[in-house]
Copies of this chain bind each other. A is one copy, B any other.
Amino acid sequence: MTITITAFERSPDGGQGLARDTRVRWALEEAGQPYDVRLVSFAAMKEPEHLARHPFGQIPTYEEGDLALFETGAIVFHIAQRHGGLLPGDANAQARALSWMFAAVNTIEPPILDLTIARIHERDKPWAEARLPLVKDRIRERLKQLSARLGEADWLDGAFSAGDLMMVSVLLRLRASGLLDEYANLAAYVARGEARPAYKRAFAAQLAINAPDRARS
């Protein structure tokens, strides 16, 4: 059955790979699964046809036969459960990988989303400058704990898994802020993720849509 995902017709990040379709593309590349992409405009994302697939009017979505999914974490886990390359074989280790997937989106990502709000949505507010250090310190608190847990290991729990895929993807959003580079082992961890051939293919695929001139050069 053909797998079809949705992605931004034009990503707000201009091809940096930070839109969430990159996470799903990466998972499909790790799993060796071909896929089609349906591009949606910002206007189309709020139309009933897309809202039927994604109740919050976002991307990505995932369709395969009569299955339709939304939420990147659920899509990546679905791919990981059905194909090789993203989950350990042991049931307990699989459950721990899901712990890291949830940690990525529920513990690490919320303060990072807050930074986007502070820097973009509330950029022109009178409190913008004064509030930024508080937002950054809440991110640092989480990064310090994550750095302590990762230590000198390559990945969070044994071999590379869907937990690492989600965590690296979330941490990538921090690169421009410089916060990631304050934790050398986390910066190296993210670089290991980006060096994976499957990540490179996923990144190139989204770049070809969002910045075709750069992708061809």
Chain B residue at minimal CB-CB distance from A81? B95
Q: How far apart sit A114 and B56, CA to CA, in the bound complex (Å)?
A: 18
| Nearest chain B residue, comparing its CB with the CB of A77 | B98
| Minimum C-beta distance from A202 to chain B (A) | 20
> Contact between A99 and B127 (Cβ–Cβ < 8 Å)?
no
CB-based nearest B residue for A122: B134
Q: Could you tell me how many residues of chain A have their Cβ less than 8 Å away from some Cβ of chain B?
A: 48
Q: Is A107 an interface residue, CB under 8 A from the partner?
A: yes
Q: Which of B74, B103, B110, B125 contacts A101 (CB 8 A)?
A: B74
The complex places the Cα of A55 from the Cα of B151 at a distance, in Å, of 12
Question: B55 touching A73 by the CB < 8 A rule?
Answer: no
Given known contacts A125-B127, A146-B55, is B103 in contact with A106 (CB within 8 Å)? no
Q: How far is the CB of A162 from chain B (nearest CB, A)?
A: 12
A192: Cβ under 8 A from any B Cβ: no
A55 vs chain B, min Cβ distance (A):
4
Chain A residues 82-115 with CB under 8 Å of chain B are: 92, 95-96, 98-103, 105-107, 109-110, 113-114
Contact A55 B145 (CB under 8 A): yes
Choose one: B69, B103, B122; the contact of A56 (CB below 8 Å): B103
Most chain B C-beta atoms within 10 Å of own C-beta, residue among A56, A75, A95, A142: A95
Which of B122, B126, B148 sits near A55, CB closer than 8 Å?
A: B148
Q: Which of B68, B102, B125, B138 contacts A71 (CB 8 A)?
A: B102
Task: Name the contact of A78 in the complex, choosing from B58, B98, B113, B145 (C-beta under 8 A).
Answer: B98
Specify the chain B residue showing the minimal Cβ separation from A127. Answer: B127
Which 7 A-B pairs give the minimum distances between C-beta atoms? A127-B127, A71-B102, A55-B149, A73-B102, A74-B99, A105-B106, A74-B98
9 A–B contact pairs at CB < 8 A?
Answer: A56-B103, A56-B146, A58-B107, A74-B95, A74-B96, A78-B98, A102-B105, A122-B131, A125-B131
